[in-house]
Amino acid sequence: MRIDIITVVPELLESPLSHSIVGRAIKKGLVEIKVHNLRKYGKGPRQQVDDYSYGGDAGMVLMVEPVFRMIEELKAERRYDEIIYMSPDGENFSQAAANELSLKENIIILCGHYKGIDNRIREHLITREISVGDYVLSGGEIPAAIVADAIVRLIPGALTDETSALSDCFQDGLLSPPIYTRPAEFNGWSVPEVLLSGNPKLIREWQDEQAIERTKKLRPNLLPNDLDL
């Protein structure tokens, strides 16, 4: 898999994409992530990539030409399954979306900056818009790192135990049940007895019940309407 990220601040992506699971997946050759500085196609000695918006609104906007030229350069080298724009008004990013994108071969992620991007880019170049929440950040770099991380950890071989991803939150539409580790008792706080029973059937039933109860309490919006509670 290959992920190309277009940004005006490549430094913001260096650390998130160089360590932990993502960094190890890159070293293993499971994924290739390339960060491209949009200023490569900037104008003049300052490599300008933004300008004032028509209509006089406050804030600078990424210009259409540098983005177009960068994407065209990438598309000349390979076919892309998705060209994603990180935007606060895009679709809400979810585990289901991460699962879907992890099956793609080549993806471009465009990071907005300043006030946003010339809308012609969204109309003619972007195939999908994704948001990581109903709030505005200074740019799309941190959201792009979030999306890349969520995708990469699902690639076979990225996790030491590949079954771990299958039990993550949201994989079955529910929150995860509580988890515990050694010691079985600490400071008077005990691990639930069922987890010490060694009975896989009872443990799984308890985990399923807890997942539903936690979701009902913390994120009831995730529960299907027909779930018997």
Phi and psi at residue 227, in whole multiples of 5°? -75, 130
**For the chain, what percentages of helix, strand and coil (3-state, to nearest 5) are there?**
35, 20, 40
Percent of the chain with pLDDT over 90: 86
For residue 60, the domain's CATH number is 3.40.1280.10
* Same domain for 132 and 43: yes
* Same domain for 140 and 34: yes
Query: Is residue 164 included in any domain, yes or no?
Result: no
Query: Is residue 162 included in any domain, yes or no?
Result: no
20-39: pLDDT as tens digits: 999 999 999 999 999 999 99
More confident residue, 52 or 56: 52
pTM of the model: 0.88
154-213: pLDDT as tens digits: 999 999 876 566 666 677 789 999 999 999 999 999 999 999 999 999 999 999 999 999
* Same domain for 112 and 6: yes
* Same domain for 177 and 140: no
Give the span between the Cα atoms of 90 and 93, in whole angstroms: 8
Q: Which domain holds residue 130?
A: 2-152
